[in-house]
Amino acid sequence: MNLDQQMKKYKEKRKVNPREEKIQETIEVARESFLLAEAEKNLSYGSFLYIQFRLIKKRWWLLQILTLILLWAIFPFAEDALYAYRSMGVVAALFIILIIPELWKNRANQCMEVESATYYSLRQVYSARMLLFGIIDVFIITVFCGIASITLQLTLTDLLVQFLFPLVVTACICFGTLCNKRGFNEVVAVGMCMIWSAVWWLILLDERIYYDIMIPVWVTLFCIALVFMVFTIYKSIDCCDRIWEEKLDGIKN
């Protein structure tokens, strides 16, 4: 008997017939071991925020900064101070509009279903993005207001009425559109912000309205808008799961 015949005979003796139930049992044990190992390596919220920060396209923050720099650069050269001051409201609206593409990108890319299947919920994804945008935008606006008040001789009242108030109202419109159950897209949000910007421009062109409203009234209106903005942000986070289920899956609660 040659070597090949011996090898063939040996293979026939050592041949193992697999049993299906044992294979399935091995698969289940391996799956449970894998899930148990992964459960011990949960992603911390800090790491989750860092990942969301990396996913956000930084060009939108850069464009916001460039918008404010442009306003700061052209403000001293405006021939009419009236139009220069009123233009701050338009820039404020544009500043908020620049966050819309990033907040709406999961709808535009139709990836909400993927996000809702992750370890962190869709609500937490929205919360993380809004928190990051809030921190960065508040820092940018604070630096701009500080520089503008020193170099452009703008008072806190001017910044409040001409820039911060229309900015907060624009944010209310954006987040109100985001949490609307009709599922408006970003085009509708941008359109509504532009309409508000035009209305605000027309209102402040009337000198009587601007000077007849006292400072406490402006402060009160700003506080009301700020409270409403917080409410709309909360609603957008609270309703994001229901909007996804009802509008994209057709499942009614």
pLDDT digits (tens, 9 = 90+) for 145-162: 899 888 888 888 778 888
| Per-residue pLDDT at 249 | 46
Render pLDDT for 187-227 as a digit per residue (tens, 0 to 9).
777 888 888 888 887 777 776 776 677 778 888 888 998 89
Question: Which one, of 99, 101, 90, 88, lies nearest residue 148 by Cα?
Answer: 88
How far apart (Å, rounded) are the C-alpha atoms in residues 197 and 187? Answer: 15
How far apart (Å, rounded) are the C-alpha atoms in residues 103 and 178? Answer: 9
How far apart (Å, rounded) are the C-alpha atoms in residues 134 and 243? Answer: 23
Model confidence, pTM: 0.69
How far apart (Å, rounded) are the C-alpha atoms in residues 156 and 149? Answer: 7
For the chain, domain boundaries: 44-248
Question: Which one, of 125, 150, 134, lies nearest residue 99 by Cα?
Answer: 134
Q: What is the mean pLDDT of each run of 10 residues along the chain (253 residues)?
A: 66 66 80 71 75 86 91 75 73 86 72 64 79 90 89 82 86 80 70 83 72 77 89 77 50 42
